[in-house]
Amino acid sequence: MGWKAAQKLITHWKILRGDNVMIIRGKDKGETGLIKRVIRSQNRVIVEGKNLVKKHIKQGEGHTGGIFSIEAPLHVSNVQVVDPVTGKPCKVGYKYLEDGTKVRFARGMYASGAVIPRPEILKERRKPRPTSPGPKDTPIELVLEKTYDEKAGIGMPDL
């Protein structure tokens, strides 16, 4: 289960973290779950509670060893997003609404064509932005200082 580079990386991902997907191939075929993690460098996704494998972990400092069940990554071609109306797996398409917003919608043979909402988990960042300024941050006074004024001729280069 080591790291293996993908032959051809997917450039435009239509499956996002937090999507409700159905596994269409493998030992958990037909089961649904939420996407926990997307591994873009390998074209793989991890689905919560699915594709469990036994991992033997050796005992070390600060943790005990044993046999644990962990979620193994699935190839992205083995999962499909679930249509929010019919509950069946479908392909994902993009379209623009009348107001100009870009949305994902269910497409395919038995799809309803309904809009697939963006997962709520994507609104919060995995690594939160720092709230306090660090040692390399520019002070706010210097950022807000006006150094160029075209009418007064301040900050104009001498040509």
- Structural domains for the chain: 19-122 (2.30.30.30)
Kindly tell me the burial class for residue 88, based on how many C-beta atoms sit within 10 Å of its own C-beta (0-12, 13-18, 19 or more). Answer: middle
What percentage of the chain carries pLDDT values higher than 90?
63
Q: Is the pLDDT of residue 75 over 90?
A: yes
Q: What is the pTM of this model?
A: 0.73
Q: Label residue 2 by pLDDT band (50, 70, 90).
A: low
pLDDT tens-place string over residues 126-159: 777 778 888 888 888 888 888 888 787 777 777 6
Give pLDDT, residue 18: 94
pLDDT tens-place string over residues 9-41: 999 999 999 999 999 999 999 999 999 999 999
pLDDT tens-place string over residues 93-133: 999 999 999 999 999 888 899 999 999 888 887 777 778 88
Residue with tokens 């193994």: 72
Give pLDDT, residue 69: 95
Query: Of 118, 112, 124, 130, which Cα lies nearest the Cα of 20?
Result: 118
